[in-house]
Amino acid sequence: MNMVSQHIDSFLQLWNAEMLRSVDMFLGEKPELSYAEAAAVHDDDLTNYLWWKQVIEGTGKFAVWTGAPEPAWVALGGNDEADRGAAKQTYLDIVRQAYEGLVGSINARVAKPVSSGPGGAESLASVSSLLIWEISIKLKGQALPKLLLALDKTAVEAIRLTLDPESEDSQTPGPSAGGTSAMLERLMQIELPLAVALGQAVLPIHEVLKMTPGSLIELNRTVDDYVDLVVHGTVVARGEIVSVKGNYGVRIKQIISREDRMALRASQGRSIS
């Protein structure tokens, strides 16, 4: 396998892992996923697919398309036969989350960060300039119709520039020994407590003592404001509250930079003192 093929394969492995994680998060079921280069695909084959186009921007900029035939997106959307619209939205949320996770996974291994550009449902008219892979999915032991993942041929070089740690633009040296990589792998498995902060309020003691079931507390945020995701007292991201199959969830909208996190931590320390 040449270097370019290795970079594409690494990209597909990351996408595969994040799609698996996203399906598990939304449905509570861990699917089996695998990918293989597609045989001949013609434009006429695309008519019954629901497509999502995602732009990824970093050292290079490229687009990725994910297509699902209706039986597949209905199953991944929760098999909501009574409300196809709800099933479709759930499927699109799964794909959106998978790409957000993909960007995070890429950023964990490269010197120059990438970001999610525009993403959304968008028809794919032609496959003439695309490289296509089939995504096999087995959910609850049942094989679903295969998804398609397509890359513009110009994306190959962009992915190489994004993932290659020896890129001439990269100034961050890779691990000097296998032990460093193993240590990093162990660190990546550490679990951290993640809390969601809706807002804050300051109350005098006498009001706290008067609280009873049914009491209302007004927080310092409006219903349209993002909530904070907090790890060990430090805000790491902000997002919006969503419903995921009857459970609360948070869709990440902003990642806080290291400098902003340090500033928030310093201000929290001053307020406590």
Q: What pLDDT, on the 0 to 100 scale, is given for residue 138? A: 93
Q: Terminal CA-to-CA distance of the chain, rounded, Å?
A: 58
CATH number of 3-185: 3.40.1550.10
- In angstroms, the CA 133 to CA 129 distance is 14
Q: Where are the domains of the chain?
A: 3-185, 192-272
Asked if 231 and 193 touch (Cβ cutoff 8 Å), the reply is yes
Fold match, 3-185 / 192-272 = no
Q: What pLDDT, on the 0 to 100 scale, is given for residue 92? A: 92
Alpha-carbon distances of 60 from 7, 135, 228, rounded to whole Å: 13, 25, 31
- In angstroms, the CA 96 to CA 5 distance is 25
pLDDT digits (tens, 9 = 90+) for 238-262: 888 888 777 888 888 888 776 665 6
Q: What pLDDT, on the 0 to 100 scale, is given for residue 221? A: 86
Q: How confident is the model at residue 169 (pLDDT cuts 50, 70, 90)?
A: very low
CATH superfamily of domain region 192-272: SpoA-like (2.30.330.10)
Tokens of 94: 């799964």
Asked if 203 and 217 touch (Cβ cutoff 8 Å), the reply is yes
Asked if 74 and 86 touch (Cβ cutoff 8 Å), the reply is no
Q: Which of 19-33, 167-181, 187-201, 237-251 shows the lowest per-residue confidence on average (mean pLDDT)?
A: 167-181
